[in-house]
Amino acid sequence: MHQLDALKLYTTVVADTGDFQQISRFQPQDATTNPSLILKAVQMPAYQQLLQDTLAQLAGAPQDEVMDHLLVRFGCSILALIPGRVSTEVDACLSFDTAATVARAQRIIGLYQVQGIDKARVLIKIASTWEGIQAAAQLEREGIHTNLTLLFSFAQAVACGDAGVKLISPFVGRIYDWYKKTAGAQWVEAANAGANDPGVQSVRRIYNHYKKHGIATEVMGASFRNTGQIIALVGCDLLTISPDLLAQLQAGEAPVQQFLSADLARQMDVPAVHMNQAQFRFAMNEDAMAGDKLSEGIRAFCADALKLEKLLLTA
């Protein structure tokens, strides 16, 4: 049994890509997209017809509307290839506007429903700012499920659990990147791998807290730099993995061991934690890594969304 099939025994595997032509070979349950992945995909020859069809259908429409239609076209194509859910992201430029995030999410769900897609098969991705988390709480009350992304801290995870969001995506690789860059020449790769990887440690802490206290929010590790990070999180609810790393797992034959389980978490001494807005903002202020990476991530996704809009104007 190769590592990918072994991983699927313990964890739901999710494909992290906008290039839906790659999905079938890995047979994931779910799939995730983001503005950067869609921007990359629409520049490939294979997706030019999809792009042109969308533009022709929406000639003269506002750019944000064209953007949402394009995202949903990709999402529908992905859903035709998988049995589960697709994650579609709200414009990251709205990350600090609760009302605008809710409105954009409602429109995206409406576009999916026009295509005959049940809203249960869609997760709306929203940045894990305080405003984004409150938007997610409102959407969940309306029966629209959410995936809180750009999540780097325990504080963000606690707030998401309190808000009753469906799923969170803690970013393993970007946490690892920050600590490695900050350590500079002092970084020792072997000493910070596996269970000692700071990104892995972050996800394990969140997972154990949720399971210990019966928090229903699903944990989906994301943003991996290598297969070692993935293997160290076997047993996590879900892991979203790029095609390159999925291929490496499919070719790998090393043993796979389960490290996370709800039963083990329930036996741990993990205190319950809750946060109001003031506590959340203070915790984020104290966590330099989380503050840096959240801001950086929003800027990058927003920049790629703007590039995509510009591409739509010139295509």
* Interval 232-245: pLDDT, tens: 999 999 999 999 99
Please answer whether residues 56 and 70 qualify as being in contact, where contact means their C-beta atoms are separated by less than 8 angstroms.
Answer: no
- What does the pLDDT read at residue 169? 98
Please answer whether residues 174 and 199 qualify as being in contact, where contact means their C-beta atoms are separated by less than 8 angstroms.
Answer: yes
* Interval 115-172: pLDDT, tens: 999 999 999 999 999 999 999 999 999 999 999 999 999 999 999 999 999 999 999 9
Residue 214 has pLDDT above 80, yes or no: yes
Question: In total, how many domains does the chain have?
Answer: 1
Q: Phi and psi of 257, rounded to 5°?
A: -120, 140
How far, CA to CA in Å, does 62 sit from each of 65, 68, 250, 313?
Answer: 5, 10, 43, 11
* Interval 171-207: pLDDT, tens: 999 999 999 999 999 999 999 999 999 999 999 999 9
Q: Of 231, 236, 139, 220, whose CA–CA distance to 193 is shortest?
A: 231
CA distance 220 to 225: 15
- What does the pLDDT read at residue 313? 86
Give the CATH number, domain containing residue 96.
3.20.20.70
Domain that holds residue 22: 3-314
Active site residues: 125
- Stretch 59-70: mean pLDDT, rounded? 93
CA distance 205 to 260: 10
Contacts of 277 (CB under 8 A, 6+ apart): 130
* Interval 36-63: pLDDT, tens: 999 999 999 999 999 999 999 999 899 9
Each residue of 141-150: b (16+ CB within 10 Å) or e?
eeebbbbbbb
Q: Please give the torsion angle defined by the CA atoms of residues 280, 285, 288 and 290, in that order, rounded to the nearest 10 degrees.
A: 30
What does pLDDT average to over the chain?
Answer: 96
H-helix segments, the chain = 3-8, 35-42, 48-57, 63-79, 98-114, 130-141, 154-163, 172-183, 198-212, 227-231, 243-251, 262-266, 277-286, 288-314
- Stretch 67-72: mean pLDDT, rounded? 95
